[in-house]
Amino acid sequence: MKIKKLLTTLFILSLAAVFAVIGTAAESALPFKDVNEKNWFYSYVEHVYTEGIMEGKSETIFDPNANVTRAEFVTIIARIAEADVTGSASELSAFTDAKQSAWYADAMGWGVKEGLVTGTGANTLAPNEPMTRAQLATFVARLNEYLGITLPEDPEAVRSFTDVKNGKWYSDSVESLRASGLINGNGDGTFRPNDTSKRSETAAIISRFLNALPEDTTPNRLEEIAVIHINTETGADVTSKEDYIRASFTLKDKEGRDIEVGSMRIRGRGNATWNMEKKSYRLKFDEKICLMSKPSGGTTENKDWTLLANHCDKSHLRNIIAMTLGKNLEGIDWSPYTELVEVYLNGEYRGVYMLSEQVKVGDQRVEIEDGEKDDIGFLLELDNYAAGEFLSDYIRVGDKRYSVKSDFKNSDQVTALQLHMEALLNIAKEGDQAKIEEYFDLDSILDMYILQEFVRNGDVGYSSFFMYVDSPHGKLHFIAPWDFDLAMGNSIHTDSPEGLQAAHKTDGNGADLGLENPWFAALIEHKWFREMIRDRYTEKKDDLLRVVDECCEYGYDNVEALDRNFDKWKVLNKQINQEPDAILRLRSAKQNIDYLKNWLHTRSAWLEKTFNSALFLKVYPYGDDPVIGSTEVIDADVWTIPDWFEGYNECQLLVEQMTIHGIVQLELGLARTMSPESITRRVLVEQLGTELGKFAIIFDEDDYNALLQQYQGVGFDQAAHHPCDFVVRNLETGEESERTQFTFHVTKRNITDLWPDD
């Protein structure tokens, strides 16, 4: 049976609309004694019977006036979709009133898995209850969506139904069918959603539905996605994030891609996600290559690519949506191309992955010049996972760590970069719009704020947040949206579509949650910036939702592959990271996509209301003042340490108390204890650049004890400021400097559950 597109003049639920004169013959060609050619529904019953869509109650009885049950109707739509329902009965295990041995079990189980039928309660499915008109409209609307059918609007459609109110669970489905002329009600302006539907009426509906479907397509709207095979040279699994191993690589798809590479390299990637059973990978080719398909839009060639597992994102679309939004927000210079693929490693099926361009400096990616020059730029990642050597692998601005993703000449260059970034953050806090426009690419910052706030990204102030400066005097740009598995309702901390996140992290009631992005938090304090947010969101909100709908449709098109992924990784009802209960209750890939789409549409409406409210335009205090005078660093000609830095007399001490498996660890900068020796390292070695072991700080004893007491009195997520006198002693000669005073800024944070339990 072939499926046709729905026409404007499709079926009508009302009995009055389906009466027709069929003929005058007294005998029926059908086997049913209770259906003959005089009946208005004869031709419809004949059609659905001969197509194998509806059967009789027995060999000789159709029972046209009986109600259609929910199980019967789901069985009907499974036949229309030509679905293979075999083995789907197990999907009914959560329902107490649906037997896995019943005649309807496979069809109902398939309907549950595909999201076409939902329960009537927490544990009930009501398979034998009569189908109401509201349920019928909802099931038909879901079937249309499942088959990928676009309903045309009918200018002759009735205006509305007096008994269908906005906000009802069925109102959207009824409205979509009404606008397309599929249902016209009862002629008195009512729809009567709670009335039941008879078998004769259902036969008429299904017959008209079948007649209007396309002749040249089948109901299978699913597309095959690209398949990647990677085989390591030794046949060993990929077990390291640091060490690449050699492997062969192939990629094939129906679009004509047939890529074979005899030797490339692969290693693991990720922070917390590396501890999950489904791993993500970094790919490095010996020669530049383009792996993206033409439909994805990606045409760049590069050596570096990623395969993201998206293991805790059960829609597999959150990163795709965010990165596609980045491409549709013109202020963001570059956002990675992405697409879904299926991956086999050493012959073993590993599931659905997101193939993506790697964030890096390079042609057609982050296009800045780095290397051993004085006028180079730097790519940075706000990354509290950052490790390695301070002022080489990472810098610290305020209480945040930033990984240095660029090549550089020497550590002095990176020290100057740190000073420059501190100066920029202070400029943002000061709020002079002209000065901010001089040193910030406001288009990129504004659009990145819109993106991060729209998706309510839980990591926006913690990690995977990229920026660059293209020269010592260059502007700060935000770029390359990345890592959104905890966004869009997928975290127990931010599952509500209400509440601000990126700059002033609040819950739906306005309560402060902390951990905001420091750049957004500094800028949003200024009313002119909030007005820019309001105006830009108003301009782009329709485009944002268009991207959401297109990406979700892409997910629906590939839901069969996503189902295969969940056959491999049985995690739909398991909490892998921070998924809220609402997501853990979802039972299929399609339901996860439905949830995601609905969440983003609800989020959009809330943001539109919030950004246009008087509340949003009130003052948002950042909490600390800019350091006066530190912005002098922007006058440096190149990435060098200015002369005045010799008198730099402030020191940031971030104390992170992490509770992991009941073990308390303290971190002070790079040090593990708050001792004179660790402070010596922080001030002399990391901040002033002197040699470790050659000099020591000799504190005034009373001042040092006061510093420790100050730390003891600091609460979590609070800061204290304490001036402390000391001298610097040359350990080789015994000579001491003049007495010096530093002001120590001590911040204490409590971080828990950074990694899942082993």
> What are 615-671's pLDDT values in tens digits?
787 665 554 555 544 566 676 667 776 665 544 444 444 444 333 333 323 333 222
Checking if the pLDDT of 394 tops 80, the result is: yes
Tell which phi-psi region holds residue 391, choosing left (phi > 0), alpha (psi between -120 and 50) or beta: left
Can you give the pLDDT at residue 20? Answer: 33
Structure confidence at residue 4 as a pLDDT band (50, 70, 90) = very low
Predicted pLDDT at 380: 95
Note the pLDDT of residue 76. 92
* 185 and 230 belong to one structural domain: no
681-722, pLDDT tens digit by residue? Answer: 556 655 555 665 667 777 777 777 776 666 565 555 555 666
In a domain, 238, yes or no: yes
**611 — pLDDT class (breaks 50, 70, 90):** very high
Among 153, 187, 211, the domain-final residue is 211
How many other β-carbons are positioned within 10 Å of the β-carbon of residue 4? 15
pLDDT per residue over 202-233, tens digit each? 888 788 777 766 554 344 333 468 999 999 99
CATH number at residue 560: 1.10.1070
Give CA separation, 11 vs 48, 69, 77, 347, in Å.
14, 20, 15, 50
- Which residues, at least 6 apart from 613, have a Cβ–Cβ distance to it below 8 Å? none
* Mean pLDDT computed over 172-176: 79
Q: Counting every residue, how long is the chain? A: 758
CA distance 377 to 481: 19
pLDDT at 716: 54
Last residue of a domain, one of 611, 640, 667: 611
Same domain, residue pair 483 and 405: yes
Residue 216's pLDDT is 42
For the chain, the farthest-separated pair of C-alpha atoms sits apart, in whole angstroms, at 121
Report the percentage of the chain scoring pLDDT > 70. Answer: 76
**Segment 302-317, tens digit of pLDDT:** 999 999 999 999 999 9
* Greater model confidence, 531 or 508: 531
Q: Which helix (H) or strand (E) holds 543?
A: helix 527-557
Q: Model confidence at 444, in pLDDT bands (50, 70, 90)?
A: very high
- The whole-number pLDDT of residue 193 equals 84
Confidence of residue 172 (pLDDT cuts 50, 70, 90): confident
Q: Is the pLDDT of residue 753 over 80?
A: no
Position 686 scores a pLDDT of 55
Phi, psi (degrees; rounded to nearest 5) at 503: -110, -30
Same domain, 460 and 499: yes
Q: Is 66 exposed, middle or buried (0-12, 13-18, 19+ CB in 10 A)?
A: middle
Same domain as 284, residue 150: no
Q: Which domain, by its residues, includes 64?
A: 15-68+130-211
- Whether 663 and 740 share a structural domain: yes
Same domain, 37 and 156: yes
Question: Does residue 264 share a domain with residue 232?
Answer: yes
Torsion-angle region of 464 (φ positive above 0: left; ψ -120 to 50: alpha; else: beta): left
Residues 658 and 714 in one domain: yes
* 198 and 233 part of one domain: no
Q: How many domains does the chain have?
A: 4
Is the confidence at residue 747, as pLDDT, over 80? Answer: no
For position 549, what pLDDT does the model report?
95
Residue 450 has a pLDDT of: 97
Q: Is residue 104 part of a domain?
A: no
Q: Is residue 90 part of a domain?
A: no
444, 514: one domain:
yes
Q: Are 656 and 724 members of one domain?
A: yes
Compute the distance between CA of residue 553 and CA of residue 550 in angstroms, rounded to an integer.
5
Percent of the chain beyond pLDDT 90?
34
Helices (H) and strands (E) in the chain, counts: 17, 17
* Of 129-138, 407-416, 535-544, 741-750, the least confident: 741-750
Indicate the range of 74-88, 149-163, 454-468, 534-548 predicted with least confidence: 149-163
Please state, in angstroms and rounded to a whole number, the distance separating the CA atoms of residues 203 and 41.
8
Residue 628 belongs to some domain of the structure: no
**245-252 and 226-232: which strand pairing?**
antiparallel
d(CA 190, CA 145): 25
- Average pLDDT, rounded, for the chain: 79
Same domain? 230 vs 207: no
**In 162-257, at which residue ranges do the beta strands (DSSP E only) sit?**
226-232, 245-252
